[in-house]
Structure 1
Amino acid sequence: MRKVLTSLLLGSIGLLAGCQDKQPGISKHELQNRLTQLESRVLDSLIFIEGGTFIMGDFGAVGEDGVWRPYFPPTIEEDRPHEVTLSSYSMSQHKTTWGDFDTYLLANDLPFIVQAFTKSWERTPFDQEPESRFFVEKPATVTWQDAKDYCQWLGAQTDLPLDLPTSAQWEFAGRNRGSKDWIFSTHDGKDPHLYYQQTQPRQGGEFVPIGSRLPPNPLGLYDMADNGKEWVNDWFSETWYRENPKVTDPQGPDEGTQKIVRNLDFSFSRIGVPESIPSTFNDEWTLIITNTFRCALQSSSPP
């Protein structure tokens, strides 16, 4: 398999040749190395997750009085608990980094830009400055479509069914296979802010190199509870949970106006985010929404 993958990835060098004048600091040999390394990381970072059945959404708790109550009542209608059965799948151990995303852009002759408003600005790829937002080891923050395109490109290059994870897959993995002990998607199911207060009091908000802040959860997944909110594949719907009380391998609604972002609060927390929103700074500007992401292998067999 690795020989096939290497051939496919190095076959992209023909595309890269047209990029050399734009990126004089990246030699053809270095590009070959980057592609080969990306191939290895894709395969080595996929964590196989055995499927199962769990209660997705605000699974709540039963009090001493015997009454069940949701953890977060304001969103109980859109996060209504329901039974979900998932087939086995695999998920990337880490969020996608700027270094890997820049390799994708270079391989496809796509621009290196900062997307914030209607206008965009050029940026330096493969940024080696640790303090920079675009440092190669920090998670890439991109639009939902960019995230989708990246995962599917990787799938095409490796001949593997890679895509964004579904919302159910993300929650199942973030909660250690759907455990009700995992109220937060951390390594131990506890609020990540407790960890920041004890050890790194001022590091709860900014982006850091992947896997450098909290330990992995029992499945081996890093940064599920911090280091940026994550795009998933599903359209957002406030009624999806209550209209589908028992589902297998849910993909979410067939259409919508917002995509689901898995939040950094409770492990079941999700929000709907549009691709862009009007800017409050200028009537002629549109704010482009970006978030982090990771890819998933949509196959019930281990990679």
Structure 2
Amino acid sequence: MLKIWVAILALLNVVLLSACNSGVEQVELESNLVELLSRAERDQVYIEEGDFVMGDFGAVQNGQWLPYFPPTAEIDEAHAVELSGFSLSAYETTWKDYDTYSLIHDKPIVIRSGGEEYPREAYLQNLEHDHDLRKPARVTWQEAKDYCLWLRDKTGIAFDLPTSAQWEFAARNRGSKDWIYPTHDGKATPNGARRGGEGCIFWTGVCSVGTNLPPNPLGLYDMAGNEEEWVEDWYSETYYRESNGVKNPTGPLEGTKKEVRSLEVGSLSFSFSRRAMPAVLSNGSVALAGFRCAVQSPESIH
């Protein structure tokens, strides 16, 4: 915790300048910065090392293994993975935290839509809006990466994006084959499961972070539902077939698309919850997704 307070003190001069330039009160920005850095450490859930079968691990019926989704079984081929311990945020990064980060770096506060950007107010409080400060932030992969590395730089803690294997291991309750869906109980969630989530928007399905479903047994919220999430890995249709038995896989060395992970509540099973996202979409707009930061250390930070 001492590292956090050292980081806060070092940033106060920057906060003063940023507050003046943005119209946000200095006291508010300072308070939000203190909260952000403190919570970034506090919300990390330590996940012990282990091994699991990643991908479309399928089911055994009458003594025969069958994939859950045959059309993509080759791309999502089940393969053995071993992971060292790591930590993962219990929550997706919110607009409140990302706005604080943006203000400190004098980045514009905008809405992106259809390849265009429109200015908006920081710390928007409107539960009927996707940019409400309690909703998950949607940013580019590089912006998500930069945010996590900023936390690393300011705290001295090894923050970064999680790998795809780490994300899946955590979402499946340490890789349990009983966790077919990345929900709180590993089971499919019936239609209408968004009832009870704070400020859920019908046409996007986005709710305030951590309010829709209970956490999974590790204490992680919104691994199913809310925004898809960026992970570290490049996407490859062949990587799963090439990485059986790899310890701490990080994906291909290069590529043209990044992976996003998650699963729409009430949708198909967990095995199919990864997809590729190009930097620029077909309509010319940038690719946006949510994210949560991990701590790439085999030891707990608490």
Shift of 1:44: 1.2
- Is 1:116 equivalent to 2:120 in the alignment? no
Give the C-alpha shift of residue 115 in structure 1.
2.3
2:111 paired with 1:107: no
Q: Distance in 2 between matches of 1:191 and 1:19?
A: 45
Hey, what's the Cα distance between the residues in 2 that align with 1:289 and 1:91?
Answer: 23
Q: Distance in 2 between matches of 1:47 and 1:213?
A: 19
Q: With structure 2 as the length reference, what TM-score do the two structures score?
A: 0.92
1:1-303 equivalent positions in 2, closer than 5 A? 2-24=1-23, 26-63=24-61, 65-194=62-191, 196=193, 205-264=204-263, 265-268=268-271, 269-279=273-283, 286-303=284-301
Distance 1:198 1:277, change over 3 A: closer
Give 3-state SS (helix, strand or coil) of 1:272's partner. strand
* Alpha-carbon offset, residue 198 of structure 1: 8.5
TM-score by length of 1: 0.92
Q: Structure 1: 5+ residue runs without aligned partners? A: 280-285
Q: Which runs of 4+ in 1 moved over 4 A?
A: 197-205
Q: Which ranges of structure 2 fall in alignment gaps of 5 or more residues?
A: none
Distance of 1:257 and 1:82 partners within structure 2: 23
Native 8 Å contact 1:89 1:296 kept in 2: yes
Shift of 1:15: 2.1
Change in Cα spacing, 1:171 to 1:204, as seen in structure 2 (3 Å) is farther
Aligned residues: 294
CA distance in 2, matches of 1:186, 1:204: 21
**What amino acid sits opposite 2:42 in the alignment?**
D
C-alpha distance 209-198 of structure 1, shift in aligned 2 (>3 A): closer
| Aligned-residue offset at 1:113 | 1.6
Three-state SS of the structure 2 residue aligned to 1:192 is coil
Deviations 1:50-102 (A, max 9, x none): 01010000000011x22111001111111000000000000000000000001
Cα separation, 2, equivalents of 1:18 and 1:197:
41
AA paired with 1:275?
A: A
Aligned mates of 2:151, 2:190 — CA distance in 1: 34
Identity %: 45
Identify the range of structure 1 (96-105 vs 106-115) with the bigger mean alpha-carbon deviation. Answer: 106-115
The 8 Å contact of residues 263 and 271 in structure 1, kept in 2 or not, is answered as no
Aligned equivalents of 2:171, 2:235: Cα separation in 1? 19
CA distance in structure 1 between the aligned counterparts of 2:188 and 2:74, rounded to whole angstroms: 23
Take 2:109 and 2:67, find their aligned partners in 1: how far apart are those partners? 44
